[in-house]
Amino acid sequence: MLQEMLQQISPLDSAAMETARQHWDAIAKPLHSLGRLEDLVVQLAGITGTANLPPRKKAVLIFCADNGIVEEGVSQTGQEVTLAVAKSMARKGSSVCKMAQSIGAETIPVDIGINSEESIPGVLDRKVRPGTRNFLKEPTMTEEETVRAIVTGIELVRECKEKGYGILATGEMGIGNTTTSSAVTAALLQCEAEEVTGRGAGLTDQGLTRKQQVVRTALETYDLWHADAFTVLQTVGGLDIAGLTGMCIGGALWHIPIVLDGVISMAAALVAERLFPGVREYLIPSHQGKEPAAVKLADALQLSPVIHAGMALGEGTGAVMMFTLLDMAMSIYGQSATFSEIEVEQYRR
């Protein structure tokens, strides 16, 4: 099924992008004076296939899942926190929910792998399994589980499009997922564990050393520096990362812009791009987080984050901030006076 999807991913619409560029140049302001924001609006035109870009219904898909590697002492808290925060998201009480509400965006928490059999009203139940396995003992997921999680992300994008959403942001919640994302990143970029493994939610020096050791051991045990992207994801990834991988692929399949959050979703984006080259063109970067993997992932994806604020909150908070910046850019793109309207000669490139 996944290989069949590869043939359905097309390049961005170059004609729509050129029309968008010409429209920017016609607006009464210095050429390219909004910098990266202008480029991103042009990219939106290419993704959606039209330079006519009205306001779009927005949502954050928040993939919630637990990680078996927490057994190894790589986080400050236990798996019970994942469930607690998911419940807060269901009540619209978490940080990303408050931020999204302030700009009229919806938050959609998804249980793709919380280690609990409890049904949470307000959380979409798409559980593949109750948490992953401990990758120091065995691969985190089976091949079938990995595919199911990826397909879940793809299908959620399709469902959102059918409900009228025109742009989506990546969100996640799962204790231990900076360990899984570090392992995935180190393997795909063929670098040392210490180069990409950070403190996550605030580990001590001793905790960071332990976390780096865990990642390094996994890379060596499974020889992941020489593995393909799917094997890396299945072996040391998380259900949240797999779901986000599918979300990135779904954006390319259904021509929905996907705004990336921090290192978790960027690691997933790199998996998606390795599986299906061309997916990256459908992805919008938001912020450069504090984790050491952030710069390397952005470079590998050839994406340039706009927000540099030292953020490390996760949940999709940086992506929601990017929604606001895109809306502001769109307010100029769609409503500002042109040179012809103010009877001034247009600037030339």
pLDDT in tens, 23-53: 999 999 999 999 999 999 999 999 999 999 9
More confident residue, 348 or 25: 25
Helices (H) and strands (E) in the chain, counts: 14, 6
Sheet containing 165-173, strands listed edge to edge, beginning at the edge strand earlier in sequence: 124-125, 106-113, 57-65, 165-173, 258-259, 283-284
- DSSP H helical segments within 27-124, as ranges? 36-48, 80-90, 95-102
What is the number of other CB atoms lying within 10 angstroms of the CB of residue 93? Answer: 11
> 170, 244 in Cβ contact below 8 A?
yes
Residue with tokens 């006076």: 337
Tokens read off for 326: 């895109």
Classify 43 in phi/psi space as left (phi over 0), alpha (psi -120 to 50) or beta: alpha
**Nearest alpha-carbon partner for 318 in 275, 280, 269, 263:** 263
Q: Between 188 and 207, where is the model more confident?
A: 188
Catalytic residues: 315
Q: Would you say the C-alpha torsion 60, 64, 67, 71 has a positive or negative sign?
A: positive
pLDDT at 290: 87
For residue 198, what pLDDT is reported?
85
Q: How far apart are CA 295 and CA 288, in angstroms?
A: 7
Report the candidate in 78, 77, 97 with the shortest Cα–Cα distance to residue 87. 97
Q: What is the pLDDT of residue 204?
A: 86
- How much is the mean pLDDT over the chain? 95
8 Å CB contact between 63 and 112: yes
The amino acid present at 46, given as its one-letter code, is: G
Give the dihedral of Cα atoms 103, 57, 95, 129; nearest 10 deg: 180
Higher pLDDT, 152 or 346: 152
Q: What are the C-alpha distances in Å from 143 to residues 13, 69, 209, 269?
A: 34, 18, 30, 19
Q: Residues 128-145: what's their mean pLDDT? A: 98
**Residue 133, Cβ neighbours under 10 Å: how many?**
17
State percent of the chain over pLDDT 70: 98
Cβ neighbour number for residue 102 with a 10 Å cutoff: 10
Nearest CA-CA partner of 301 in 138, 189, 210: 189
In one-letter notation, the amino acid at residue 84 is: A
Determine the average pLDDT of the residues in 82-101. Answer: 98
Q: Calculate mean pLDDT across residues 70-91.
A: 94
Alpha-carbon separation of residue 161 from 140, 168, 229, 273 (angstroms): 31, 9, 27, 21
pLDDT at 185 (0 to 100): 98
Bridge partner residues of 59 (DSSP): 106, 168
At 201 the pLDDT is 77
For residues 124-140, give the mean pLDDT. 98
pTM for the whole structure: 0.96
Residue 107 has pLDDT above 70, yes or no: yes
Q: Look at residue 55 in the predicted model and tell me its pLDDT.
A: 87
In the three-class reduction of DSSP (H, G, I as helix; E, B as strand; rest coil), residue 226 is classed as: helix
Q: Is the pLDDT of residue 57 over 80?
A: yes
Residue 147 has pLDDT above 70, yes or no: yes
Radius of gyration in angstroms for the set of CA atoms belonging to the chain, rounded to a whole number: 20
* pLDDT for 4: 66
The single residue listed with the structure tokens 């961005």 is 12
Look at residue 1 in the predicted model and tell me its pLDDT: 61
Q: Is it the case that residue 205 has pLDDT exceeding 90?
A: no
Whether 3 has a pLDDT exceeding 80, the answer reads no
Residues with Cβ < 8 Å from 309, sequence gap 6 or more?
A: 287
79 Cβ contact list (under 8 Å, min separation 6): 66, 67, 70, 115, 131, 175, 176
Is residue 164 over pLDDT 80?
yes
Q: How many Å apart are CA 260 and CA 310, to the nearest integer?
A: 16
Can you give the pLDDT at residue 337? 86
Instruction: Note the pLDDT of residue 224.
Output: 98
